[in-house]
Structures are given as C-alpha cells and as structure tokens.
Amino acid sequence: ADESGITRDRTYRDAEFLGERFQLVDTGGLVFDDDESTLFAKEIREQAMVAIAESAAVICVVDGKVGMTSMDLSIAEFLRKGISNEIPVLVAVNKCESEQTGTLSAAEFWNLGLGEPHAVSALHGVGTAEMLESMFEQIIEKQSAIEGFGTKVSELKSAKADWLSDEPLPGEDKTDVRLRRKFGIGDAAGKALERYETAMGAFDDEDRPEEINIAIVGRPNVGKSSLLNALFGDDRAIVSEMAGTTRDSIDAVMERPSPKGSDTQSTIYKFVDTAGIRRKGKVQFGPEFFMVNRALRA
C-alpha cells in the first residue's frame, strides 16, 4: 500500500533461487527518531534488529523515485557501523522499472557507502535475479550462511566441465581422455561422473515434514499476539493496548522431534497470528479490509 507503517512485525516467506532454499524476512520501516508521528517505532525497530541478528545477509530497500533521503543516510550509517563487517549488506533501489533511467536513479545511492546499488522493480521483478546472484556471492565470500550455501550452480558447472573436458584430468593421460570422452570409462572418468551426478542430485527436492497449520483468530484486542508470544517465549509479535496493532498474518514455526529410536520425521506446527476480525459491515476498504482477508485465508 502507499500508506506508510503498514508492516510492523517480522513476516517470513520461503524462497528458492539457483536451487537454494532460504527464507526472506520482511520488516517494518526503520525509524530512529521516536515521536507521536512514528507509531510503534521502537517496537518495529526491535523486530528489525531480531531479523538482522538471525540473517545471513541484509537488503536495504530505498525509493528510486524519491531519491536519497536523510532517513536513508541514517539507516546506511547504522548498517555500515554495526552490520556490514559481519554479513553482506546490499542496496536495492526500488521503483526502477525503466532500464534506461533505472541505473541513473540508482547511481545516487553510491553515496550511502554500502557498495553497488542494485536498480530493481519489486512490482515487475526487474533486476532481482542479478541482485540475488550478487547476494549469494557475498554470502559465500563472508561465509555468513551454512557451509555450501549458494554453491550448487557453480559446483554443477565445474563438475560438468570436468566430465566434458578435452584436457587430461588428474591421473589421466591422452589415451585416458579419449576413453573417457568416447566410452566414459577409467578411474578419473568414474570420479568425474560421480561428482557430476552428485552435483545434479543436489537440486532434487528434499523430504520435508508436513506442516500442521494452526490459526489464532478472534476479534481485535483480545490477546492473540500475547498468546503467540507466550507459546514461543519470545516477543514474536508486537503487543499493545491499541486495537489493530497486528496487521499481517504472522507465522511462527515450532518443531516437535520424533520419539527417540523412531524412524518417523519430526512434526512441524505453524502458528499463524492474525489481525482482529470485526463484523463485515464495520470494515472499510483499505488496510483493514486486506488485513481481515489475510486473517480469513490463514
């Protein structure tokens, strides 16, 4: 929506790119000056800090149409001083739909001091693949994720190149190369083929436990978010006395391990905290309308 302050809590969504599964965490807008006009600024900031602490990389989103603002500079300073030395920080210059003017709009954000700004359009998907490729490269360089993350494609390319190579592999001579290329035989050929098949197999779908969804619903301000926080022993959702504090459907996952000695998979429970639901006649078109619809879908 064009209205600011719509996102408040952390919102997790599964994603996949280049054969890698990961989670994206959307957070509320960071504001460092607390006043009456910045509702829940402190709580939103705390939620964003938790998301950053959990993450292997950060994408700082700025508005390419508006241009660089003092708030962008404040956020960039915070990220430079406390975050960018530990994990990659990328700048996504949003609303750059035009290939002709997008790069020009993004160039201004070099001044943030966070490296190359990426011209993207969240609405049309322009530039997002290139940004994610850069993110993967930086994650590998800084080793901010689990070992091997982001290497599936490069490993497959390398294994395929070895298998099809006309040059001798370690332990091969020219005769071995001809036998490998024509018949696929030889010790080096066997190792190269095994490596290639392993690299291909890394893209196969992994068995994942089925999720059991549990929606927490009710009218506004009855304590749904407080119940979620109590279940998880954490401030997973922002809580206040004000009705309508929760706007998005918030997912929180709990895993129940399988019994010892059992071959069965663990059980995954996904609790979904929802916005308060009022009578249909009282809901006006706007943020609340979409909040209620998301709650009903949950």
Q: Which tens digit of pLDDT belongs to each residue from 246-258?
A: 556 677 777 887 7
User: What's residue 288's pLDDT?
Assistant: 47
Residue 3 has pLDDT above 70, yes or no: no
Task: Give mean pLDDT, residues 6-30.
Answer: 82
Strands 11-17 and 20-26, by their bridges, are: antiparallel
Report helix angle 174-183 to 187-201, nearest 10. Answer: 50
pLDDT value of position 236: 63
Angle at 284 between CA 66 and CA 37, to 5 degrees: 45
- The average pLDDT across 81-93 equals 93
pLDDT band with cut points at 50, 70 and 90 for residue 242: very low
DSSP 67-103: ---HHHHHHHHHHHHHTTTTS-EEEEEE----HHHHH
Name, of 2-11, 20-29, 64-73, the range with top average pLDDT. Answer: 64-73
pLDDT of residue 128: 94
Question: What separation, in Å, do the N-terminal and C-terminal C-alpha atoms of the chain show?
Answer: 20
Given a contact cutoff of 8 angstroms between Cβ atoms, the answer to whether 83 and 49 are in contact is no
Contact 233, 279 (CB under 8 A): no
- What is the spatial distance between Cα 264 and Cα 267, in angstroms, rounded to a whole number? 9
Residue 290 has pLDDT above 50, yes or no: no
| 297 against 113, higher pLDDT | 113
Closest CA to 221 of 254, 204, 202, 246: 246
Q: Say if residue 261's pLDDT is above 70.
A: yes
* Average pLDDT taken over every residue of the chain: 80
Q: pLDDT tier at 270 (50, 70, 90 boundaries)?
A: confident
> Per-residue pLDDT for 47 more than 90?
no
Spatial CB neighbours of 176, under 8 Å, sequence gap ≥ 6: 168, 169, 186, 188, 189
Q: What local confidence, expressed as pLDDT, does residue 35 receive?
A: 61
pLDDT tens per residue across span 188-203: 888 888 988 888 888 8
SS3 assignment for 128-188: HHHHHHHHHHHHHHHCCCCCCCCCHHHHHHHHHHHHHCCCCCCCCCHHHHHHHHHHCCCHH
Percent of the chain with pLDDT over 90: 27
286 falls in which pLDDT band (50, 70, 90)?
A: very low
| CA gap 161, 290 in Å, rounded | 50
Choose the weakest-confidence range: 4-8, 191-195, 242-246. 242-246
Return the pLDDT at 1. Answer: 46
Look up residue 75 and give its two tokens.
């956020």
Residue 240 pLDDT: 46
Contacts of 193 (CB under 8 A, 6+ apart): 163, 184
Q: Answer with the residue of higher pLDDT: 101 or 126.
A: 126
**pLDDT tens, position by position, 105-135:** 899 999 999 999 999 999 888 999 999 999 9
More confident position, 244 or 215: 215
Of 7, 62, 5, the closest CA to residue 38 belongs to: 5
